[in-house]
Amino acid sequence: MKIMVQGTGSSVGKSLLVAGFCRLLKNEGVSVAPYKSQNMALNAWVTNEGLEMGRAQAVQAEAAGIAPHVDMNPILLKPNRSLGAQVIVEGRAKGHFPAMEYEWMKQGLKQVAKRSFDRLASRYDAIVIEGAGSPVEINLRKNDLVNMGFAEIVDAPVILVADIDRGGVFAQLVGTMTLLSPEEQSRVKGYIINKFRGDQTLLMPGIEMVKPYLTIPCLGVVPYMEDLLIDDEDSVTTRIEPKGKRAGLPAVGVVQYPHASNLSDFTPLEMESGITLHYIKTPEEILSMDALILPGSKHTLHDLNWLNETGCGNAVKKAHQLKRPILGICGGYQILGMQLEDPSGVEGDVTCEKGLGLLNVHTRMGSLKTTKKTNLSWNDQRLNGYEIHQGMTNPIFNEKNWMENESGDCLGMKEASAMGTYLHGVFENESFRTWFLEELGAQAGNWEYQAKKEESYNRWASHLEMSLDWPRIREILTQSGNL
């Protein structure tokens, strides 16, 4: 059995709907897995096998109650402004390619996508497939391997999702269906209106009025959930908007440079009630924070230059002089060091740059990419997480103030109020999160991250079951049969 969720555009909520469908089916006792043939995102995950995949599919797998596997996302594109995109196939980086060259690669990648899907279909009873962007990017339809092109390959029924929060929801739906071919239109079994705010009785006349233009049924209207803390496809899109501080609570600022990646690292902090978390871009915002975090980066040298050009780098140094806690993760850790070298041009033409100089480490970029689950020793405890980075960072001075993994590799360093680490997922460790909050004078909540996530998945699934015609969706899935 299989069903595909496509959208009228990007960020309409496809990823979260797939996660919710997976949890609903899991709760019914169905063996289910998520799938997305091609994902373009800066949020990544490392599987138990040390392979890289999209974070959204890892979240969906967790909602399905299974371990993430690279077959769930065989092709991952990580955009890079100066180099096109890094293409990751079946968990391994193949290099950076411009858009046109990647188009030429797609024909061969269709076979990769189908092979991964077939393996999943042999292991699970149901597959919930996620599309990407819009299915009517007609200029790209010839080589499509993620929307209607892939639905044809695996003969999957499609549900179309539109985002009413952006406005123009009926135009989105009618325009999309009009641009689909008759064969593609017959594949679409219904539509969902997502992210609704307000009184649904005001929307119902519109659903009736659009029927002459839409032959497919409405399968439900999903009210917007303000406090849903499940990672979306790329970063934390709905939570990076500016927000006000709350009186008496420390403010933690995540510096949002242009290529910031893996912002999902900070979802656990979003769940803490003792602080306010902000995504910031200006020197003034940086200096108004009680603590700073420099996140991962897909293009570290470019983001370092951005910090220097905007004055944000000097603001971080000033915050350090004021003894405010500063944490760098992955690319942010590299930026906090003394120097970054890229002699092979892994990230472009710049071969060497001075870092912000808050940690006595230096980084040398290399062609090999580290992707693995790992842990490190910190405060006599083991912290679990994963690594995704180019290059290695080593201490300049032989002082034992760095964090080691089991092999003795340097995965982090702490000096005074500055600290850096390669460990993604570090805040999922209760001991570290508690320590970080106590450094700010904030009290950690009495909860466990994994339990909180489970509660969120179940709450989201219940919300969808009440909002949608779930029996009808379930029937579409059942009727899809097997390949």
User: Tens digit of pLDDT for each residue in 323-332?
Assistant: 999 999 999 9
**Residue 312 falls in the annotated catalytic set:** no
Q: What contacts 462, CB < 8 A, 6 or more positions away?
A: none
pLDDT tier at 405, thresholds 50, 70, 90: low
Instruction: Provide the pLDDT for residue 84.
Output: 79
Residue 237 pLDDT class (50, 70, 90 cuts): low
150-177 mean pLDDT: 94
pLDDT for 53: 93
Catalytic residue among 69, 96, 320, 424: 424
Average pLDDT over residues 141-151: 92
How many contiguous H segments (helices) and E segments (strands) does the chain have? 15, 25
The class level of CATH for 2-229+454-480 reads alpha beta
Which residues, 6+ apart, have CB-to-CB distance to 28 below 8 Å? none
> In the structure, what pLDDT confidence band is assigned to residue 465 with cuts at 50, 70 and 90?
very high
Among 125-129, 297-301, 361-365, 406-410, the least confident range:
406-410
DSSP state of 132: -
Report the distance separating Cα 195 and Cα 221, nearest Å.
Answer: 8
Residues near 85 by beta carbon (within 8 Å), at least 6 away in sequence = 40, 77, 78, 79, 96, 97, 99, 102
Q: What pLDDT is attached to residue 103?
A: 84
The whole-number average pLDDT for the span 126-154 is: 93
pLDDT on residue 235: 47
Phi, psi (deg, nearest 5) at residue 196: -80, 140
The one-character DSSP state at 46 is E
Percent of the chain with pLDDT over 90: 62
Clarify whether 362 is annotated catalytic.
no
Cα-flanking dihedrals φ and ψ of residue 413, to 5°?
A: -150, 145
Mean pLDDT of 159-166: 93
- In this predicted model, which residue has the larger pLDDT, 444 or 304? 304
Q: Which residues of 80-108 are buried (b: 16+ CB within 10 A; e: fewer)?
A: beebbbbbbbbbebeebbeeeebeeebee
Flag whether pLDDT at 400 surpasses 80: no
Q: 32-87, pLDDT tens digit by residue?
A: 999 999 998 888 889 999 999 999 999 999 999 999 999 999 999 988 766 678 89
Rounded CA-CA distance 256/177 in Å is 37
Q: What pLDDT shows up at residue 353?
A: 85
pLDDT of residue 483: 38
pLDDT band at 292 (very low <50, low <70, confident <90, very high): very high
Q: Which of 330, 352, 410, 463 is catalytic?
A: 330
pLDDT of residue 236: 44
Q: Enumerate the domain spans of the chain.
A: 2-229+454-480, 250-441
Question: Which residues does 172 contact at the CB level (< 8 Å), separation at least 6?
Answer: 8, 9, 162, 163
To the nearest whole number, what is the mean pLDDT of the chain? 89
> What pLDDT sits at residue 269?
92
> Nearest-CA neighbor of 299 among 120, 79, 446?
79
| Res 248: pLDDT | 81
Average pLDDT over residues 259-278: 90
Q: Are 444 and 434 in contact (CB under 8 A)?
A: yes
Residue 109 pLDDT more than 70? yes
Contacts of 228 (CB under 8 A, 6+ apart): 16, 456, 459, 460
Average pLDDT estimate for 125-142: 92
Give, as one character, the DSSP assignment of residue 172. Answer: H
Q: Are 214 and 174 in contact (CB under 8 A)?
A: yes
For 166, residues 6+ apart whose C-beta sits below 8 A from its C-beta are 9
End-to-end Cα distance, the chain: 8
Mean pLDDT of the region 203-228: 91
pLDDT digits (tens, 9 = 90+) for 309-325: 999 999 999 999 999 99
Residue range 228-252: average pLDDT?
Answer: 70
CATH entry 3.10.270.10 includes domain 250-441 = no
Q: Would you say the CATH fold of 250-441 matches that of 2-229+454-480? A: yes
